[in-house]
């Protein structure tokens, strides 16, 4: 199994609800990954903001949600356009809902940093490690842009521990399931009292690590 695919164990079709014409649930078992794995495995990493979120029926029993983002700054990779559309399985069209567990779609107007696993392959979730590759940016009352997780918890620290990464890779069979936070991140649990690290520091740390791994 390729390293970039290790975080996705399985997608299972679960339940049809009788309340709607069709409603399908998918349960995703996602492995916790390291920041090194995510940065290395992602084909494209960018800062941007969400311009639109639209769900469309893409098959007789399938719905996808398309999230179009304005690219503000590219951190890793290349992309020829100023906007990019990310495709997530699930969504609601009219009275039809396809519910997919563990998928949190970026919100309209959201600003963030997104780790895109592949630009060519359509996947259940386009971001590496699902929520682990989804960060939001908020501006505090002093005007400083700060990093948050997809679930709006402050990211207070970021590290790339080569020893831990090596141990994780060597014991891949015993990795924990993801809680939405990659190994190497320090997270504050109090949104009101704890501030996330500045956006510029977060991006600088990513670029520094990219330079170290690709001299």
Q: pLDDT digit string (tens) for 162-188?
A: 544 444 444 444 568 878 899 999 999
CA distance 118 to 42: 7
Count of structural domains, the chain: 1
Rounded average pLDDT over 97-125: 93
Question: HEC profile for 13-38?
Answer: EEEECCCCCCCEEEEEEEECCEHHHH
What pLDDT is attached to residue 192?
75
CA distance 77 to 84: 13
Q: Which residue has the higher pLDDT, 27 or 19?
A: 27
Residues 88 and 103: beta-carbon distance below 8 Å: yes
What pLDDT is attached to residue 213?
87
What pLDDT is attached to residue 175?
65
Percent of the residues in the chain that have a pLDDT greater than 70, as a whole number: 80
Q: Could you list the residue range(s) of the whole structural domain that residue 188 is in?
A: 3-213
What pLDDT is attached to residue 215?
67
Mean pLDDT of the residues in the chain: 83
Rounded average pLDDT over 153-157: 95
Assign 214 a pLDDT band (cuts: 50, 70, 90).
Answer: confident
Lowest mean pLDDT among 33-42, 52-61, 123-132, 166-175: 166-175
Quick check: 3 pLDDT over 60? no
Percent of the residues in the chain that have a pLDDT greater than 90, as a whole number: 67
């Amino acid at each position: 199994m390729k390293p970039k695919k290790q975080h996705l164990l399985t997608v299972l079709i679960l339940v049809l609800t009788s309340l709607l014409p069709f409603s399908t649930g998918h349960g995703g078992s996602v492995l916790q990954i390291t920041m090194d794995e995510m940065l290395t495995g992602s084909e494209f990493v960018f800062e941007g903001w969400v311009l639109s979120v639209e769900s469309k029926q893409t098959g007789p029993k399938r719905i996808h949600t398309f999230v179009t983002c304005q690219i503000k700054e590219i951190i890793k990779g290349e992309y020829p356009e100023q906007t990019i559309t990310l495709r997530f399985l699930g969504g609601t069209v009219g009275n039809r809902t396809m519910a997919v567990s563990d998928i949190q779609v970026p919100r309209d107007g959201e600003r963030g940093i997104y780790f895109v696993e592949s630009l060519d392959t359509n996947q259940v979730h386009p971001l590496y490690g699902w929520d682990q590759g989804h960060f939001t940016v908020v501006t505090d009352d002093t005007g400083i842009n700060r990093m948050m997780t997809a679930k709006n918890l402050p990211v207070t620290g970021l590290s790339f521990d080569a020893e831990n990464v090596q141990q994780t890779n060597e014991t891949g069979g015993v990795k924990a399931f993801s809680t939405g936070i990659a190994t190497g991140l320090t997270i504050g649990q109090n949104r009101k009292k704890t501030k996330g690290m500045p956006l510029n520091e977060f991006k600088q740390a990513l670029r520094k690590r990219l330079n170290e791994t690709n001299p």
